[in-house]
Structure 1
Amino acid sequence: MTRPPVIELRDATKAYPGGVHALRGVNLTVEEGELLAVVGPSGSGKSTMLNVMGTLDRPTSGTVKVAGYDLSELSDARLSALRARHIGFVFQHFHLAAGRDAVDNVADGLLYAGVPLKERRARARQALAEVRLDHRFAHTPDELSGGEKQRVAIARALVGEPRLLLADEPTGALDTASGEVVMELLHELNASGTTICVITHDHAIADSLPRRVRFKDGEIVSDSRSTPLTGEARR
């Protein structure tokens, strides 16, 4: 049986008091295995898109489905369970717990999944190895570089094996070299099957991804894809 899209928005709107319309009739489908950017300037609506796609906020009107589940039909408790099971988040400023080593920071990503501590830590070590940090297991955030902190944050987001990784300005707090390492890692994770959406204002980052969804004033103004390389072109 075909799996439903990871994300599906139909005529989704989001309005706030005072006549602010952050989303205006947005239609977007994200299929399994995609790597895309949602790109736009500050105030364009892309942060609201992150919150709606990540089930952190409900739309004012329209339909939002995550992994086939219509958010309007779920209680807050079921919505939290859906988020924990299907979505991983990576933020610009890492949000790591000070004084806790990399393994425990990543293991915290499984706190609400009912996984025993020993298994949480074992899976955390595996996730850290996947982001090439198996030499930093015992290091706390203040002993890590910015790029390493972001890789710990990515491992924490991935440890629960979500269908979707939402990365909000993942290179925004990093120098150029560290940012390139993080983006290379996101490409590798996508190649291994993870669906990834990068929210960014950086057009260079957006242009490096296979799909670019450009936002302005709460609306999608373009949705473009790179032409897939043929086998001959790859060689």
Structure 2
Amino acid sequence: MAGAASVPPVVELRGASKTHPGPVHALRAVDLTVEPGELLAIVGPSGSGKSTMLNIMGTLDRPTTGTVHVAGRDVGALSDAQLSALRARHIGFVFQHFHLSAGRDAVDNVCDGLLYAGVGLRERRARARTALERVGLGHRLGHRPTELSGGEKQRVAIARALVGAPDLLLADEPTGALDTASGKIVMELLHELNAAGTAVCVITHDHDIADSLPRRVRFRDGEVVDDSGRACSRLPEVGA
């Protein structure tokens, strides 16, 4: 519609490089744009730059050179406090090894996703319960990680990532610590979340997972060597 404001990419990198002492060039002048509602894989062998890319996209680290914009804001111009607030509003993280607190139940673990969002405890717990119900764990709210299966732990981690309603979910090897059946359930859940409007980026070395997603960005030696583009931004519903 004429005059309507355009929605900025959820994340946009231009010429982003990361160099460590040595020098080690972990990223080399990467250009990457992720639009709202996209579903994509970042794939490559160990040491290709995937983890560095995750940290840069998620604003956990800053590039040595180049720019990063999240939801239209230049990350390089923000203070640490502003960056934490931006991250809390727009980005959720899921890692291979869950990172759940052993002595706390599922609700309290999910509450952690709202610690930097300025939400009161009662509201945090209410949102946590809703998020857990969304990932099919409404019957496990009071269970601690030791009482959950690997797949259930990963679903708790996904609920924690989603409780703040982020625009972008970064999933780093989300099935890497799971058996095949649990991994399939987690990937189906990521499909469903994407179909509901969340942009999902799966970082993986698993080519079967990468090839099942509509966009694939392949890394080697810190560089993008192939990007299938955005011909299709979302998967059809699972089972369609």
TM-score tier after normalising by the smaller chain length = over 0.9
Cα offset, 1:147, TM superposition: 0.2
1:142 and 2:128 aligned: no
SS of aligned partner of 2:9: coil
Instruction: Choose from 139, 151, 155 the match for 1:151.
Output: 155
Say yes or no: does 1:106 pair with 2:110: yes
User: Percent of aligned pairs with the same residue?
Assistant: 77
CA displacement, residues 191-212 of structure 1 (integer Å, 9 cap, x when unaligned): 0000111111110111111110
- Measured after TM superposition, the shift of residue 75 of structure 1 is 1.3
1:150-186 CA distance string (max 9 Å, x none): 0000000000011111011000100010000000000
State how many pairs are aligned: 232
Q: Secondary structure at the match of 1:37?
A: strand
Aligned with residue 213 of structure 1, among 217, 229, 238: 217
Q: What amino acid does structure 2 have at the position aligned with 1:215?
A: F
TM-score relative to the length of structure 2: 0.93
Identify which of 120, 123, 127 aligns with 1:119.
Answer: 123
Q: 1:175 to 1:13 in 2, by over 3 A?
A: same
Q: Confirm or deny that 1:48 pairs with 2:48.
A: no
Match of 2:170 in 1: 166
Unpaired runs of 5+ residues, structure 1, are none
1:227 offset after TM fit, Å? Answer: 5.6
Match for residue 76 of structure 1 among 62, 75, 80: 80
- Structure 2: which 5+ residue stretches go unaligned? none
Q: How far is 1:107 from its partner?
A: 1.2
Provide the C-alpha distance between the structure 1 equivalents of 2:87 and 2:67, rounded to a whole number of angstroms: 17
CA contact (8 A) 2:84 2:116 kept: no
Shift of 1:225: 4.7
Task: Tell me which amino acid in the other structure corresponds to 2:87.
Answer: R
Alignment root-mean-square deviation, CA: 1.6
Shift of 1:9: 0.7
Cα offset for 1:116? 1.3
Are 2:199 and 1:195 aligned? yes
Determine the C-alpha separation between the residues in 2 that align with 1:88 and 1:65: 16
